[in-house]
Structure 1
Amino acid sequence: MHTTPKIILGLFAILLFNCKSTKVVSSGNANFNLSTKQLIKENAKQVANFKTLQSKLKITYTQKGKSQSYSVNYRTKKDEAIWINATFSIVRALITPEKVSFYNKLDKTYFDGDYQYLSDLLGTELDFDKVQNLLLGETLYDLNASDYKASADDETYIVQPKNQRDLFEIFFLLNPSNYKVKSQQISQPKEFRHLQIDYLKYQDVETQIIPELIKVIAVEASDEMTVELEMKNVSLNEELRFPFKIPSGFKEIEL
């Protein structure tokens, strides 16, 4: 498969030009006095509420010291679909709760299957909700006070399971000013795998807090892949189409 679609789709596993009142979210006043239950409740209040979102998405992919950048059109219908389209529709992808589909006009190939492809790219099990949460700055796993505990250091809240598993460790770092996710980290120490998603900047779009700059780092043994996602010109709640049809004559990719 050509490198371009692997890079573009990799961002969704680790994911238009009428911007409306977009601004960088200020840090506000830090509050380190919340209980775990209060913190999780405040984090839940910040979940972005919209029907549709579209933006221009710049993707910078780095591996083995080499970087490449691409710009794609990105659209999503909350809880239903994630759609990306590269220039001239060379690569188009549609991700739904049921499956992952994409095609590549450069080599006339397509994929139409389950989430194992994206899971293998980032080294952790993914489904639609996790991919959507990654792109919107929400925790990959649902938080609840009965299963998680929180502590604080000088700059952040650290939320983790009360009982970390030996084979699978999870940490969520929350901003004490707006309770949004600063970083989420999933490690499989015995497999030498680590996935880290850092939210370097958020933006306020029509009163909703949306990520502006995301950095995804996926490590397996000595191999490291970094994907930076810059979300620009975000607009919400417009009528959007999600056209997707695999062209005839394309060869299916066996993964």
Structure 2
Amino acid sequence: MKPYILTILSALLITSCSVQKKQTENPPVSTTKPIENNTQFFSSIEKKSTFDAVKINSKIDARTGSFIPTLDAVIYVENGQKIWMNLTAVILQAARGVATPEGVKGYYKLDKTYIDSDFSYLNKLLNVNFIDYNSLQNLLLGKTFLPVSDENYRLTPNLQGFNLSSKETQKITENGKTTEYNISLDYDMDLNLNHVLLTNTLNNDQLEITYSNREIFNNESFPKSVKIIIKAKKTDEILIENTKFDFSRMETTYSVPANYKKTEIK
């Protein structure tokens, strides 16, 4: 996998992040009312975001086995419409990209290449088959990004909050391709998503995502720390450090410079 592919993926996947910090000895006490039944739980974790737009300044570290410098990122999300990002290395622009419900686009300035694809591009990178715009936005916001239901998942309270685990392997079909996963999701007492582990039953490839260090902005919880681990033939990690949230709108220009070459993921 070319190193720059993960830099573009990083910015498209996450709005949060700082490398995970040590847990405090006395975590804050939950103020959420106790969950009375499973229906209330599933309704709460599937609640949609209500913000109009959010701009996040972040630092991205990708660990792929090849050297990739720490990148400064500006990531802008228009709720349900657009995810735009701009990456710089030191003081030089490195990449820019945008995701919409129609697909993903991005260019990498250092080798003058670009991508223009549907979401199969990100699905191939993550070794999954269910990523579309809505699931991508939920994933980056630390919200439930998989189809879950009381019928197919077992809900278990624990000391940290709740665990959802698939009762049987979950078959997800997208564009005619069916993949089976074993899935586990952990939530805290406030029903914030903390951890997701998907295992492909065919080859044991895994996608693991950890959310932590949450803060409340505009009455919504955002994870300030996100760690993504992609385990296939090799293991890649993406760590992102958030530095600022801003809920005002901004201009998001995107155009591929002349003489850039289109690239495809193998």
Using the size of structure 2 for normalisation, the TM-score is 0.81
What CA deviation, in whole Å up to 9, does each residue of 1:139-195 have, x standing for no partner? 12133334433112222311134433483111211112x111011111113312011
Which of 102, 106, 128 is matched with 1:102 structurally? 106
Moved more, 106-115 or 56-65: 56-65
Aligned residues: percent identity? 20
Q: Is 2:201 the partner of 1:197?
A: no
Using the size of structure 1 for normalisation, the TM-score is 0.84
Distance 1:34 1:231, change over 3 A: farther
Distance in 2, matches of 1:157 and 1:65, equals: 37
Q: Which runs of 5+ in 2 are unaligned?
A: 15-26, 172-179
Residue 252 of structure 1 is matched in structure 2 by: 262
Distance in 2, matches of 1:164 and 1:189, equals: 8
Which of 160, 168, 171 is matched with 2:181 structurally? 168
Letter in 2 for 1:10: L
Count of residue pairs brought into register by the alignment? 241
Residue 50 of structure 1 is matched in structure 2 by: 51
Residue 53 of structure 1 and its aligned partner are, at CA, apart by: 0.6
CA RMSD of aligned residues (A): 2.5
- SS across alignment from 1:241: coil
Moved more, 211-220 or 61-70: 61-70
- SS across alignment from 1:72: strand
Moved more, 74-83 or 139-148: 139-148
Distance 1:30 1:254, change over 3 A: closer
- Aligned pairs for 1:1-255 (under 5 A) are 3=3, 5-11=4-10, 15=14, 26-28=28-30, 34-45=36-47, 47-64=48-65, 68-87=69-88, 88-125=92-129, 126-165=131-170, 167-176=180-189, 178-221=190-233, 223-236=234-247, 238-255=248-265
Distance in 2, matches of 1:228 and 1:188, equals: 23
Q: Which has the higher contact order (CA 8 A, sep 6+)?
A: 1
Residue 18 of structure 1 is matched in structure 2 by: none
